[in-house]
Structure 1
Amino acid sequence: MTTPRRRGMTEQAAQASIDQACRMLRLPTIRNQFPDLAETAARDQMSCLGFLAELLMAECDDRARRRSERRIKAAQFPRDKSLRAFDFDANPNVDPAVIHTLATCEWVDKGQPLCLIGDSGTGKSHLLIALGTEAAMKGHRVRYTLATKLVNELVEAADEKVLTKTIARYGRLDLLCIDELGYMELDRHGAELLFQVLTEREEKNSVAVASSESFSGWTRTFTDPRLCAAIVDRLTFGGNIIETGTDSYRLAQTRARAEA
């Protein structure tokens, strides 16, 4: 049975009804912003259609923001990093135009890989997290992990007979961000499992890695030459390679602050 609508409802009763309806319909943004938006609509002599559009757009915008926040949280980034906070002056090896082009995430849409290669402290992890965050904000499913952590997870999954399920979970991601590749040598078993994750993902999926080793130095991480060559090919074919150089990004920032 529907509740009859009453004409001539007082302003207090109308506000209470709006609050109750928003709770029932799960419209928290409209419920919270209605008084301010109503005041603005009255002051600007907004039409009923215009006022309704403002209410609905406010709800849609806030829902999009909350979805973006959930995707960023699900990515498990260890810290907040943004492209706006990256000091390009501190590392002239990094071309701002190239990075901002990558920030459009067209490479993620196409399933292309990305490699960030450079010495420790040159901003690789910052860029990896920042570009991953951009992808999450644009609606992509993203996950960040350290290379050693990923390999350990895969080894445990293989021991527990759930490797297929684990690889399938990573395969559902749009972008897998792997940091600190090359910091530790991986035994053949671990390297094979990593290769399996990289190659058994769907074509639409992207992989981004940050490594302090040049590609020639990856033979120290992946001791099997053929396996090393296959992984390098997977991470570079048709992709983007950003060399962040050898000069410490952090030291350059410290020197700039000291000279200021």
Structure 2
Amino acid sequence: MTMHASTIDSIRKSLVGLRMPRALEALDATLRRIEQGEIDGIQAFDELLVEELTLRESRRIKAALMMARLTTIKTLAGFDFAFQPSLDKNRIMALAELKFIERAEVVHLLGPPGTGKSHLATALA
């Protein structure tokens, strides 16, 4: 049992050294799941890595949004297409696929103030 505890301490130190805070946070719960036979060692390892990658990806997205000065999160789901009936919803949904980026095309959103241009641009971004 001492060997087991020292191994867990070593894992904790390694996670700290590797700067993997989410994996460290999830370690105890993951070890309990191994002890209960819910998962094996490989699954546990995978789950810890997925937890850490998820945290890092969310941090990366948050930093990218801040760098792009898109601090307010707006989505196409939150856009009221009924408010702007002249707007073709299918065309906007096609834009959301972002294929225009691969084709290196420019998209211009034109219209008077209050028509949702900024909301759509932020949602697409």
Q: Please tell me the TM-score bracket, short chain as reference.
A: 0.7 to 0.9
- Mapped to 1, the partners of 2:39 and 2:56 lie a distance apart of 24
Measured after TM superposition, the shift of residue 104 of structure 1 is 2.2
Q: Pick from 108, 112, 121: which aligns with 1:119?
A: 112
1:47 pairs with 2:47:
no
1:101 pairs with 2:84:
no
User: Which structure 1 residue ranges, 5 or more long, are not aligned?
Assistant: 1-6, 133-260
Equivalence for 1:9 = 4
Equivalence for 1:29 = 22
- Mapped to 2, the partners of 1:63 and 1:78 lie a distance apart of 18
Matches within 5 A, 1:58-207: 58-77=51-70, 79-132=72-125
Tell me: higher relative CO, structure 1 or 2? Use CA pairs within 8 A at least 6 residues apart. 1
Q: What's the C-alpha RMSD, in Å, of the aligned pairs?
A: 2.3
Gap change, CA 1:93 and 1:80, over 3 Å in 2: same
- Mapped to 2, the partners of 1:41 and 1:103 lie a distance apart of 42
Tell me, what secondary structure is at the counterpart of 1:115? coil
Larger strand fraction of residues = 1
TM-score by length of 1: 0.43
Measured after TM superposition, the shift of residue 41 of structure 1 is 4.1
Number of aligned residues: 125
User: Which structure 2 residue ranges, 5 or more long, are not aligned?
Assistant: none
- Mapped to 1, the partners of 2:47 and 2:54 lie a distance apart of 10
TM-score by length of 2: 0.82
Larger Rg belongs to: 1
